[in-house]
């Protein structure tokens, strides 16, 4: 089911948190709303679910206008960060609750709960109470409860935030598997770029109530639309260097040639990812002094302080012989640098 | 109106009804009653119109001229159907019929004339002078002591008596037995020396008890904080009981402790100290025990609250203080107490209000005695309006007493709003539709 | 550690000394109810149950039977508790979770009522009950007591509702349930412990109440244990503390039993009830 959010505006009292935002999600697609806390991603999710009123704009599921529909009447399943399982009900009762509300016959509820439990692989836990389950199991119950109504849309609000690192990895692929198997249109709200990139078809990166960029994870990583997007994605993060564009990019004693097809004049910001700087690359050189080395096992993170005080970070395969304080002259993969104007927009 | 609004108002309405009936209405009525002279004798509903013999003396002061008063006092004797009926009931129908035949419709200015008329009875004369006097009285017509349900009936009656119109308004007002609006309650409160006495008593009571409550509650909380759990629990239980024991029983225990054959007297007798009632002997005795009785109840509330806020202070702070070489007193003084500022302030303001207005324990312990030495304002309101040995309960005056407390209550509880992070409290519900 | 142990002993000694009057009173409350002290003394002379005679005979022909009075007290306390709970669970939920006009106003009103000294209104309430014709009846005092306890009850219940995660409510709504159903089936079960604590608390408050029955229902028909006991004490020209204490014992037994059973919960509500 296609989701079409148009010119969405949301106010809390006198403060407008989201203004004139549009988002469309294709049927069967899984999209991530990514951004720091307070950027409006959860607000957007709750507006789509119906828990928040939509103050301006429209929301369509397919061709149906659901803008004014109360949450009870929207074909939406939601998985909450803390799972929100009903503590006094067993797993089976939890999953069956949405069906009981629809006044289905007990026999049918039982069979559908069974089906759902098999799908999320908790068939053996149906009699337990939520507090007797592990975090991952609770997550599965929450998923089953959200899906048992066969909703058109699945909304996931930070579903992995409460899990430990290992379970998070497992549930990441599990959620994606379920979404693919059911073919449901899904929206994932997260502040974790890895979650967004690994689970979703597309990412909408949000900042201050606006969508900064919406594209596939690869595209967003390769061609960030702004300095903000470039800085948000990537771990270890991208390095920024202020430079002066005047036929070439000059910063301190260093200079890089202007990449082909870009005409820039005056102050610009160069974005250079650590994996595109180092002795192992081909291209023009930048020199500076090694100021920090952080061994990571397979590779090391090395900070290089440039003569003008700015800093670049490099990822260098382990086994190098770079020492702290040493002056290095390393290559930059020129085709992979990003240039932004003073306002942060991509050049 | 959406479904949520309907559900919300629906869920609220029973409570709202109760609040309107037993909070808002009484607050308004306290104000209204404070401006009336309502009492047992006026009743709480509308009154009637009546002038009694004893009222006559105060009539001139109420603006009724002497001649009108004389008219009311000077009685007429008339032989009419109604008076004859009374006469017939006591002296027989035959005599009544004869008298009617002789003097029917006649009226006489005084009793002697009436008695003379009675002497005219021939068939069955009334021989005894005393009886004749009694019989004459039956023909007396006067509105004194007679009840008139409406103003119109009363005016008609006094007009029939010939009271000049100029006096009728004042007389009608004076004759009204129901309550009327007046500001005399406040004038009375202002003038009576007792009022100031009660106010002073209240202040004394609040200050002393509050100091005891907070100080002692704090001491209990801090001392049990350092004790092993079981010991601490025992002491807390001892001090918690006064709070949940029924007040009647709790005060009874103190009565037993202090009466002249009670525990204190019995213990002190071997030392040659005369047994006295330790609670009521003098005003000082009474005040001491009133503070103790209330204090032990109040201290337990302080103890509970302070204990729970002490438990909320991270233990590591105390460890750190110990490592820094602070002894217990220094720990209390520099680590614990500064963090108790809010609970202390809270208890102080909360109990100021409740102590100022409560009188239950004083009522049970000394009932304001000896004399009226421990009568606090709230107890005075109760005594005036609800429990007066004189029998006349002065609701209006009592309400005037209570009004002062109601106003203080409203002001202080509005102030109390400030204790809460109101913005958090009214945070919008997160489900909007 | 030795200094701290010594310090503890000093503390315990000090606490014991100041707690002594209370402990003596509790102790003799128990002893005197089943014994007779020597005249003018305090040492029990004989163990006997005559102080409890009020249970099987009328101590005074004008007085109602103790069982009638106990029944009254029980009806008064439990009806009050039920009313307070019934009104609180709905009103508190509305104030905690539902959107409706003037909610701010109601919340501010609740806080003010919570602090407001209700006893100051008793004169006006006395007259209101006279108007309503409920003066000197058990129903009248029950209504008044329940109404006066209500702000406290709502405040307590609101605290319990506030601590239920919003997400449970949201999940319920998203699962298609109406707000009423969410409240009934999903939220109410979460606040059950709070509700039972409030029930116990209001029962005890009703059981111990003295002033309201004294003022609003002084007649023999509506007498409760508090006013009964007070009348027995007040009418006696020669205090018979054995009898008074036995009646007191009988009166306080349920309170002490409830206290022993639900100590923890009660402490919480006594502490939390007045806390912000």
C 146-165 residues inside an 8 A Cβ radius of B: 146-148, 150-151, 154
CA neighbor of C167 nearest in space, from A130, A100, A18, A178 = A130
Query: Is the CB of C30 inside 8 Å of chain B's CB atoms?
Result: no
Q: How far is A6 from chain B (nearest CA, A)?
A: 20
Residue C274: band (very low, low, confident or very high) from pLDDT cuts 50, 70, 90? very low
For residue C74, pLDDT beyond 90: yes
Q: How far is C61 from chain B (nearest CA, A)?
A: 22
- Output the DSSP codes for A110-145: HHHHHHHHHHTT-GGGTTS-GGGS-HHHHHHHHHHH
Q: Looking at residue B424, what is its pLDDT?
A: 67
Query: Using CB atoms, which residue from B3, B428, B433 is nearest to A50?
Result: B433
- DSSP E strands in C44-88: the ranges are 44-47
B neighbours by CB contacts (3+ pairs under 8 Å): A, C
Q: Looking at residue C275, what is its pLDDT?
A: 31
Distance CA C23, CA B133 (A): 74
The order of strands in the sheet holding A185-190 is A76-79, A153-157, A185-190, A30-34, A202-207, A210-215
Please give the structure tokens belonging to residue B350.
């909360």
For residue C264, pLDDT beyond 80: no
For residue C272, pLDDT beyond 60: no
Query: Is the CB of B382 inside 8 Å of chain C's CB atoms?
Result: yes
CATH number of the B187-425 domain: 1.10.3720.10
Q: Looking at residue B319, what is its pLDDT?
A: 84
- Could you read off the pLDDT of A51-104 as tens digits, one per residue? 998 999 999 999 999 998 999 999 999 999 989 999 999 999 999 999 999 999
- CATH architecture assigned to C60-273: Orthogonal Bundle (1.10)
Strands A185-190 and A153-157: parallel
Contact between chains at C25 and B256 (C-beta distance less than 8 A)? yes
Q: How far is B206 from chain C (nearest CA, A)?
A: 14
For residue C1, pLDDT beyond 70: no
Q: How far is C154 from chain A (nearest CA, A)?
A: 23
For A77, B237, C127, C272, the CA distances from B301, given in Å and listed in that order, are 48, 12, 33, 10
Nearest CA in chain B to C8: B227
List of chain B residues whose C-beta atoms are within 8 Å of the C-beta of residue C266: 244
- Could you read off the pLDDT of B126-146 as tens digits, one per residue? 888 888 888 887 787 777 777
List of chain A residues whose C-beta atoms are within 8 Å of the C-beta of residue C172: 86, 97
Nearest CA in chain B to C180: B7
Distance CA A312, CA A332 (A): 11
Q: How far is B290 from chain C (nearest CA, A)?
A: 15
Nearest CA in chain A to B4: A70
Chain A to chain B Cβ contacts (< 8 Å) = 15
- Could you read off the pLDDT of B365-399 as tens digits, one per residue? 888 778 788 888 888 888 888 887 667 788 888 88
Domain ranges in chain C? 60-273
Bridge partners of A265? A246
Q: Looking at residue A151, what is its pLDDT?
A: 92
CA neighbor of B379 nearest in space, from C102, A280, C265, C215 = C215
Residue ranges and CATH numbers for the domains of chain A are: 3-228 (3.40.50.300), 236-340 (2.40.50.140)
Q: Looking at residue C76, what is its pLDDT?
A: 94
CA neighbor of C243 nearest in space, from C14, C34, C17, C15 = C34
Tell me the three state secondary structure of residue C220. Answer: coil
**Which long-range contacts link A242-245 to residues 24+ away (Cβ below 8 Å)?**
A242/A267, A242/A268, A242/A269, A242/A270, A242/A310, A243/A267, A243/A268, A243/A269, A243/A270, A244/A268, A245/A339
List of chain A residues whose C-beta atoms are within 8 Å of the C-beta of residue B423: none
Residue C268: band (very low, low, confident or very high) from pLDDT cuts 50, 70, 90? low
Contact between chains at A149 and C175 (C-beta distance less than 8 A)? yes
Tell me the three state secondary structure of residue B238. Answer: helix
List of chain B residues whose C-beta atoms are within 8 Å of the C-beta of residue C106: 12
Q: Looking at residue C4, what is its pLDDT?
A: 57
For residue B256, pLDDT beyond 90: no
Check whether the bond before B356 is cis (ω within 30° of 0). Answer: no
C 34-93 residues inside an 8 A Cβ radius of B: 40-42, 86-88, 90-91, 93
Distance CA B78, CA B85 (A): 12
Residue C2: band (very low, low, confident or very high) from pLDDT cuts 50, 70, 90? very low
Domain ranges in chain B? 75-141, 187-425
Residues 6 or more apart whose CB falls under 8 angstroms from that of B431 comprise A51, A71, B4, C97, C99, C166, C169, C170, C173, C179
Nearest CA in chain B to C146: B18
Average pLDDT for residues C153-171, to the nearest whole number?
A: 90
Backbone torsions φ then ψ of C239, nearest 5 degrees: -60, 130
Contact between chains at A82 and C174 (C-beta distance less than 8 A)? no
Contact A30, A186 (CB under 8 A): yes
Q: Looking at residue B274, what is its pLDDT?
A: 77
- Which residue bears the tokens 């003038």? B191
Question: What percentage of chain A carries pLDDT values higher than 90?
Answer: 58
Contact between chains at C26 and B241 (C-beta distance less than 8 A)? yes
Chain B interface mutation, best of C28, C124, C165, C186, highest count of B Cβ atoms under 10 Å: C124
Higher local confidence (pLDDT), C97 or B172: C97
Average pLDDT for residues B238-249, to the nearest whole number?
A: 87
Please give the structure tokens belonging to residue C129.
């009950």
Dihedral through CA A187, CA A192, CA A196, CA A197, nearest 10? 180
For residue C37, pLDDT beyond 80: no
Query: Is the CB of C26 inside 8 Å of chain B's CB atoms?
Result: yes
Contact between chains at B433 and A53 (C-beta distance less than 8 A)? yes
B 62-91 residues inside an 8 A Cβ radius of C: none
Q: Report the run of H or E that residue A30 belongs to, with start and end.
A: strand A30-34
Average pLDDT for residues B271-281, to the nearest whole number?
A: 79
What distance lies between CA C94 and its chain's CA centroid?
25
What's the burial of A345, exposed, middle or buried (CB within 10 Å: 0-12/13-18/19+)? exposed
Bridge partners of B193? none
Tell me the three state secondary structure of residue B413. Answer: helix
Question: What percentage of chain A carries pLDDT values higher than 70?
Answer: 100
Average pLDDT for residues B294-311, to the nearest whole number?
A: 85
**Helix H segments across A66-202?**
91-101, 106-119, 135-147, 165-182, 193-199
List of chain B residues whose C-beta atoms are within 8 Å of the C-beta of residue C101: 5
Query: Using CB atoms, which residue from C15, C100, C127 is nearest to B4?
Result: C100
The order of strands in the sheet holding A64-65 is A15-25, A3-12, A56-61, A64-65
For residue C273, pLDDT beyond 50: no
Rounded to two decimals, the pTM is 0.83
Distance CA B72, CA B69 (A): 5
């Amino acid at each position: 089911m296609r989701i079409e959010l148009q010119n969405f505006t949301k106010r809390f009292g006198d403060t407008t948190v989201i203004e004139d935002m549009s988002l469309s999600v294709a049927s069967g697609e899984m999209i991530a709303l990514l951004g720091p806390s307070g950027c409006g991603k959860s607000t957007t999710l709750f507006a789509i679910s119906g828990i928040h009123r939509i103050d301006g704009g429209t929301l369509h599921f397919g061709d149906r206008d659901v803008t004014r529909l109360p949450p009870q009447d929207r074909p939406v399943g939601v998985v909450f960060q803390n799972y929100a399982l009903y503590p006094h009900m067993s797993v089976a009762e939890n999953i069956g609750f949405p069906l009981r509300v629809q006044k289905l016959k007990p026999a049918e509820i039982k069979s559908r709960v069974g089906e759902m439990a098999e799908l999320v692989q908790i068939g053996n836990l149906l009699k337990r109470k939520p507090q007797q389950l592990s975090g991952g199991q609770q997550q599965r119950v929450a998923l089953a409860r959200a899906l048992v109504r066969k909703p058109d849309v699945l909304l996931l609000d930070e579903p992995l935030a409460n899990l430990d690192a290992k379970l998070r990895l497992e549930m990441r692929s599990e959620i994606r598997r379920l979404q693919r198997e059911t073919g449901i249109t899904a929206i994932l709200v997260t502040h974790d770029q890895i979650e967004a990139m690994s689970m979703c078809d597309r990412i909408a990166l949000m900042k201050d109530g606006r969508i900064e960029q919406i594209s596939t994870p690869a595209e967003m990583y390769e061609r960030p639309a702004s300095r903000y997007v470039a800085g948000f994605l990537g771990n270890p993060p991208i390095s920024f260097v202020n430079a002066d564009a005047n036929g070439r990019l000059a910063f301190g004693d260093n200079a890089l040639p202007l990449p082909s097809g870009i005409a820039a004049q005056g102050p610009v910001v160069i974005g250079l990812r650590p994996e595109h700087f180092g002795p192992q690359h081909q291209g023009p050189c930048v020199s500076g002094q090694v100021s920090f080395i952080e061994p990571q096992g397979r590779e090391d993170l090395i900070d290089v302080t440039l003569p003008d005080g700015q800093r670049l970070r490099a990822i260098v395969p382990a086994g190098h012989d770079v020492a702290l304080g040493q002056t290095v002259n390393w290559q930059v993969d020129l085709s992979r640098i990003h240039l932004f104007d003073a306002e942060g927009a991509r050049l | 109106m959406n479904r949520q609004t309907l559900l919300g108002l629906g869920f609220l309405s029973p409570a709202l009804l109760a609040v309107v009936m037993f909070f808002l209405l009484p607050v308004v009525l306290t104000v209204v009653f404070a401006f009336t002279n309502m009492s047992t004798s006026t009743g709480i509903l509308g009154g009637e119109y009546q002038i009694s013999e004893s009222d006559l003396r105060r009539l001139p002061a109420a603006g009724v001229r002497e001649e009108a008063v004389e008219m009311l006092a000077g009685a007429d004797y008339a032989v009419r159907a109604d008076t004859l009926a009374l006469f017939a009931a006591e002296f027989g129908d035959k005599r009544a019929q004869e008298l009617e035949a002789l003097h029917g419709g006649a009226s006489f200015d005084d009793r002697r004339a009436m008695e003379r008329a009675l002497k005219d009875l021939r068939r069955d004369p009334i021989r005894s002078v005393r009886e004749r006097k009694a019989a004459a009285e039956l023909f007396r017509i006067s509105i004194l002591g007679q009840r008139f349900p409406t103003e119109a009936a009363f005016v008609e009656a006094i007009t029939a008596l010939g009271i000049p119109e100029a006096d009728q308004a004042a007389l009608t007002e004076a004759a009204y037995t129901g309550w009327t609006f007046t500001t005399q309650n406040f004038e009375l409160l202002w003038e009576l020396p007792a009022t100031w006495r009660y106010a002073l008593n209240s202040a004394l009571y609040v200050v002393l008890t509050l100091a005891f409550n907070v100080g002692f509650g704090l001491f209990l909380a801090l001392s049990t904080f350092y004790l092993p759990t079981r010991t601490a629990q025992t002491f807390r239980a001892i001090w918690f009981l006064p709070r949940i024991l029924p007040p009647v029983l709790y005060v009874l225990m103190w009565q037993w402790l202090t009466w002249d054959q009670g525990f204190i007297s019995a213990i002190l007798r071997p030392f040659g100290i005369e047994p006295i009632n330790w609670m009521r002997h003098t005003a000082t005795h009474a005040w001491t025990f009133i503070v103790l009785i209330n204090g032990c109840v109040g201290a337990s509330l302080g103890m509970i609250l302070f204990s729970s806020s002490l438990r909320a202070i991270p233990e590591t702070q105390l460890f750190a203080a110990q490592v820094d070489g602070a002894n217990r007193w220094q720990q209390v003084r520099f680590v614990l107490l500064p963090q108790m500022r809010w609970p202390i302030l809270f208890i102080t303001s909360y109990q100021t209000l409740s102590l100022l207005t409560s009188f239950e324990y004083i009522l049970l312990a000394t009932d304001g005695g000896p004399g009226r030495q421990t009568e606090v304002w709230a107890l005075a309101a109760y005594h005036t309006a609800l429990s007066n040995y004189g029998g006349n309960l002065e609701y209006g005056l009592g309400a005037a007493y209570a009004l002062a407390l109601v106003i203080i209550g409203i002001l202080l509880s509005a102030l109390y709003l400030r204790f809460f992070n109101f913005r958090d409290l009214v945070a919008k519900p997160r489900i909007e539709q | 550690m030795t200094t701290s142990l010594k310090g503890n002993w000093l503390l315990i000694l000090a606490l014991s000394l100041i707690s002594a009057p209370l402990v003596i009173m509790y102790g003799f409350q128990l002893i005197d109810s089943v014994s007779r002290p020597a005249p003018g003394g305090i040492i029990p002379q004989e163990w006997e149950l005559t102080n409890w005679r009020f249970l099987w005979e009328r101590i005074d022909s004008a007085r109602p039977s103790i069982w009638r009075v106990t029944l009254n007290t029980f009806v008064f306390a439990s009806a009050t508790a039920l009313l307070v709970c019934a009104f609180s669970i709905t009103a508190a939920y509305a104030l905690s979770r539902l959107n409706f006009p003037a909610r701010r106003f109601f919340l501010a009103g609740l806080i003010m009522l919570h602090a407001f000294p209700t006893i100051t209104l008793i004169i006006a309430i006395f007259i209101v009950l006279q108007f309503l014709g409920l003066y000197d009846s058990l129903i009248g005092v029950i209504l008044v007591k329940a109404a006066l306890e209500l702000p406290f009850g709502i405040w307590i219940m609101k605290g319990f509702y506030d601590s239920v995660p919003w997400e449970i409510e949201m999940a319920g709504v998203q699962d298609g349930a109406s707000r009423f159903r969410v409240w009934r089936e999903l939220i109410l079960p979460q606040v059950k412990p709070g509700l039972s604590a409030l029930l116990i608390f209001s029962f005890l408050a009703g059981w111990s109440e003295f002033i309201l029955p004294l003022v609003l229902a002084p007649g023999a028909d509506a007498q409760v244990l508090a006013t009964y006991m007070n009348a027995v004490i007040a009418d006696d020209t020669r205090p018979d503390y054995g009898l008074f204490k036995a009646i007191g014992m009988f009166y306080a037994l349920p309170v002490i039993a409830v206290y022993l059973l639900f100590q923890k919960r009660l402490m919480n509500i006594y502490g939390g009830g007045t806390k912000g």
